[in-house]
Amino acid sequence: MKITQSLFVTLKEEPADAEVRSHALMVRAGFIQQIAAGVYVYGPLMWRVLRKIERIIREEHDKAGCQELLMPALQPRELWEESGRWERYVADKILYHFTDGRGREVCLGPTHEEVITKFVKGKLNSYKQLPQTLYQIQTKFRDEMRPRFGLMRGREFIMKDAYSFDADAEGMASSYAAMREVYRNIFSRCGVRFTPVEADPGAIGGAGSEEFMVDADTGEDAIAVCRTTGYAANVEKAVSRISAPPEPEAEVAMHKEPTPGAKSCEDLEALFPDLPIERMLKTILYRATWLDRAQVVAVLCRGDREINTIKLQNHLDCLAVELADEKTVKAATGAAVGFAGPIGLGEDVLLLADQSVEGVKGFLCGGNETDMHYLDVHFGRDLEQPSTQEFGVVQAGDTTVDGEGTIEITRGIEVGHIFQLGSKYSEAMDCRFADLEGKLQPFQMGCYGIGVSRTAAAAIEQGHDEAGMIWPLPIAPFHVMLIQMRAGDEAQDALAQELYDSLQEAGVEVLWDDRKGRPGGKFKDADLVGLPMRVVVGRDAAERKVEWKLRTDEEAEVISADEVLPRMIEALSQAGI
RNA sequence: CGGGGUGUACCUCAGUGGUAGAGGGGAAGCUUUGGGAGCUUCCAGUCGCGGGUUCGAAUCCCGUCACCCCGACCA
């Protein structure tokens, strides 16, 4: 492609509202343009990247025996009533839904479990037809409360979603395992560094799930990893062993003391410098809501630990958990926020405890009275120890559950998520097949997603420098930038044309900067767009000499024009293209 | 949804009540040609929208919409 014949427009200035590099660079390089919050045009160069990612996805899925199809984005409410998800998705305000011209309620699909289940119902009738995995690549719609970071979190985005159907749990597990390999292959081929992690299945439901995280410090997700044991989990899901609390020097009777203004552990540490934070117990009040009711929940937790509300929500099996507001706290404790404790809580408050409180003796806790705390409290002696669960957030330095290693916290961008759904949707939607004995059984399903547009953004987040993007060869919009220093110079025109033709003929994708411009601008644009290879046809064109440089190289090398093609073929074959 | 911020040319922004501005960009020309060169001329705006105050509003007031950030939330 010649630049003079294409829509190639770059900006010198950074967009003011771009917070992350991938967003800023994509806007500057003309890859995307925002149309509304979280809604973008994918320009010609961006679309080439997306199509390459899609192609890798298709090849790997097809190789694994999956079949591509295309489902509608527009979906009727009734379908979502069948699975029971309409209420939850509407309550979460994530669903784009509206009433059409004839009064029918519809939504724009945020995901397609309902449609796929409806589709296979009556088509997959026998165990003999199983297993099957179907997939599509399609635009998804989610009314994110806060779209951000360019393509990282949009309200409309391109996703690959796949669904597997098996006769039993073992079959599902093996479909799932196969898909895990497909995912590893896809992200490896895309040329991004990634970490598969254990994950919380969230609203999709089901038993097991794993996320594929592109390693990036700017990622929205925190990951707990252990270099020794290989453990890797999203912190939403991660579990760990924590250090034992220090023992009190002497057993003292419980007593209440004034702690004016001390609402946080920090305040209390200042007030009681001799009391280690591990012997302070926080009592955090939440408001949990179900479809038909709400409940105030108090969770005890060691002072140096945090509560993971996802684990709490899963334990309570409720729709939402949010921090209790001031009014609720006052009603439950009779005190201002910051003085809640397990002793003398309101009758209707459900008291739970994180496992971090186990073995803590002689601790401090809120007095349920403004400006008062209890000290030297002992479970068993002063109050009964509530049953404990793991509700805590894993922290750097914790020990892995097997005791073999230490946990670090890193960050990543979630580009893929795979789930073992089980029969959640097939049961709800009465989607069954006949087994060996002719009995009707619900399918065991799995579902598997890849954020296609997000993967492109993540690749930039991982590959860029001051000057611009640095694309991995397999998903770069073009393989090589051919820069001609002076358009109109006879020798350069001829050599550039010759190289352009021969490379194209060999299947190398060339972007030829044939503009009548000054060299500086061309170099800047080449760096910004970040094609992996660069060839400069300049002053030595008459001697058939050109400059060769990889985007990641510091210095260019002068080589014969005849060496260009072999070098590129070599680079492409190394990248598996 | 709570808190904060911003809306002025295609882009980045300046402009505290008195004729609408700069830089980038685009067009034309001269000079220049290995890391965003210089000069000249030109193009480009219902100052987000609606109301109000005023002789006069981009500027002050009220409302509204959009976008951005923090938080909550999130396959």
C-alpha A440/C-alpha A112 separation (Å) is: 24
Nucleotide nearest to A523 (CA to C1'): B35
Query: What pLDDT, on a 0 to 100 scale, did the predictor assign at position A171?
Result: 96
Closest CA to A535 of A573, A509, A517, A516: A509
SS3 of chain A: helix, strand, coil, percent, to 5: 30, 30, 40
User: Which alpha helices (H) appear in A102-143, and where do they start and end?
Assistant: 113-120
Which residue, among A393, A312, A305, has the nearest Cα to A350 in the 3D structure?
Answer: A312
Beta strands across the sheet bearing A388-389: A320-323, A281-289, A294-302, A350-354, A388-389
The CATH H-level superfamily of A255-389 is: YbaK/aminoacyl-tRNA synthetase-associated domain (3.90.960.10)
Q: What is the pLDDT of residue A207?
A: 67
**Separation between Cα atoms, residue A298 and residue A284, nearest integer Å:** 5
Protein-covered nucleotides on strand B (Cβ within 7 A): 1, 11-13, 23-25, 32-37, 66-75
- A169 phi, psi to nearest 5 deg: -60, -35
Q: Three-state SS for A390?
A: coil
pLDDT at A264: 84
Between CA A287 and C1' B46 the distance (Å) reads: 50
Could you check: is the Cβ of residue A10 within 7 Å of any atom of nucleic acid strand B?
A: yes
- In angstroms, the CA of A465 and the C1' of B19 are apart by 47
Amino acid code (one letter) for A209: S
As a rounded value in angstroms, the CA-to-C1' distance for A10 and B47 is 27
The vertex-A259 CA angle with A255 and A261, nearest 5°, equals 160
- Span CA (A58) to C1' (B33), Å: 46
Q: Label residue A92 exposed, middle or buried (CB < 10 Å: 0-12, 13-18, 19+).
A: middle
CA separation for the pair A176, A444 (Å, rounded)? 11
Q: Which of residues 326-385 of A touch strand B (CB under 7 A)?
A: none
d(CA A185, CA A113): 24
Q: Can you give the distance from the CA of residue A536 to the C1' of nucleotide B34 in angstroms?
A: 10
Name the nucleotide with the smallest C1'–CA separation from A111. B75
pLDDT in tens, chain A (577 residues): 999 999 999 999 988 888 899 999 999 999 999 999 999 999 999 999 999 999 999 999 999 999 999 999 999 999 999 999 998 888 788 899 999 989 999 999 999 999 999 999 999 999 999 999 999 999 999 999 889 999 999 999 999 999 999 999 999 999 999 999 999 999 999 999 999 999 987 766 666 799 999 999 888 899 999 999 999 999 989 999 999 999 998 999 999 999 998 888 888 988 999 999 999 999 999 888 887 888 899 999 999 998 998 889 888 888 788 888 888 888 888 888 889 999 988 888 999 999 999 999 999 999 999 999 999 999 999 999 998 999 999 999 999 999 999 999 999 999 999 999 999 999 999 999 999 999 999 999 999 999 999 999 999 999 999 999 999 999 999 999 999 999 999 999 999 999 999 999 999 999 999 999 999 999 999 999 999 999 999 999 999 999 999 999 999 999 999 999 999 999 999 998 8
Q: How many CB atoms lie within 10 A of CB A566?
A: 10
Q: How far is the CA of A445 from the C1' of B42 (A)?
A: 66
Residues 6+ apart with CB under 8 A from A244: A359
Nearest nucleotide to A517 (CA to C1') is B33
Query: Distance in angstroms, CA of A32 to C1' of B47?
Result: 27
Please give the structure tokens belonging to residue A307.
């509560």
Q: Alpha-carbon distance A533 to A549, whole Å?
A: 6
Nearest residue: Cα versus C1' of B36: A521
Strand B proximal to A539 Cβ, under 7 A: yes
Strand B contact with A449 (CB < 7 A) = yes
> Could you give the residue ranges of the DSSP H alpha helices within A205-308?
265-271
How many other CB atoms are found less than 10 A from the CB of residue A264?
12
Q: Which of residues 97-116 of A touch strand B (CB under 7 A)?
A: 110-112
Strand-pairing partners, residue A33, are: A41
Residue for token pair 């920090």? A266
Backbone angles phi, psi at A535, to 5 degrees: -125, 130
Q: Is the CB of A306 under 7 A from strand B?
A: no
Instruction: Report the topology of domain A3-238+410-460.
Output: BirA Bifunctional Protein; domain 2 (3.30.930)
CA distance A375 to A382: 11
* A20-CA/B39-C1' distance, Å: 38
Q: Closest nucleotide (CA of A11 to C1')?
A: B11
Of A472, A484, A550, the closest CA to residue A511 belongs to A484
Q: What pLDDT does A532 receive?
A: 98
Give residue numbers, 165 to 224 of A, with CB < 7 Å from strand B. Answer: 199, 201-204, 220
- Per the CB < 8 A criterion, the answer to whether A365 and A313 are in contact is no
Dihedral of alpha carbons A59, A63, A69, A73, sign: negative
Counts of helices then strands in chain A (DSSP H, E)? 14, 31
Q: Are A533 and A479 in contact (CB under 8 A)?
A: yes
Cβ of residue A94 lies below 7 Å from strand B: yes
Q: Does residue A321 lie within 7 Å of nucleic acid chain B, judged by its CB? A: yes
Among all protein residues, pick the one whose CA is nearest to the C1' atom of B67. A37
Residue A404: Cβ within 10 Å count? 12
Whole-angstrom Cα distance, residue A505 to residue A54?
24
**Spans of all domains in chain A:** 3-238+410-460, 255-389, 478-574
Q: How many whole angstroms separate alpha carbon A158 and alpha carbon A453? A: 5
**Which nucleotide is closest to the Cα of A109 by its C1'?**
B75
**What pLDDT does A204 receive?**
65
Distance, angstroms, CA A279 to C1' B65?
52
Please name the residue whose C-alpha is nearest to the C1' of nucleotide B75.
Answer: A204
Give me the CA A111–C1' B62 separation in Å, rounded.
43
Nucleotide nearest A536, from its CA to each C1'? B34
ipTM of model over 0.90:
yes
Distance CA A188, CA A190 (A): 5
Query: Which nt has its C1' nearest the CA of A35?
Result: B67
Separation of alpha carbons A163 and A116, rounded Å: 8
Tokens matching residue A456: 């492109």
CA of A486 to C1' of B60 (A): 56
CA A1: distance to chain centroid? 34
Q: Which of A219, A114, A97, A125 is nearest to A161 (CA)?
A: A114
Architecture of the A478-574 domain: 3-Layer(aba) Sandwich (3.40)
The distance (Å) linking the CA of A185 with the C1' of B63 is 56
Asked whether the beta carbons of A544 and A562 are under 8 A apart, the reply is yes
Chain A residues 478-537 within 7 Å (CB) of strand B: 485-486, 518-521, 523-528, 536
CA of A298 to C1' of B26 (A): 63
Strand B at less than 7 A from CB of A161: yes
Six-digit token string for A200:
């919380």
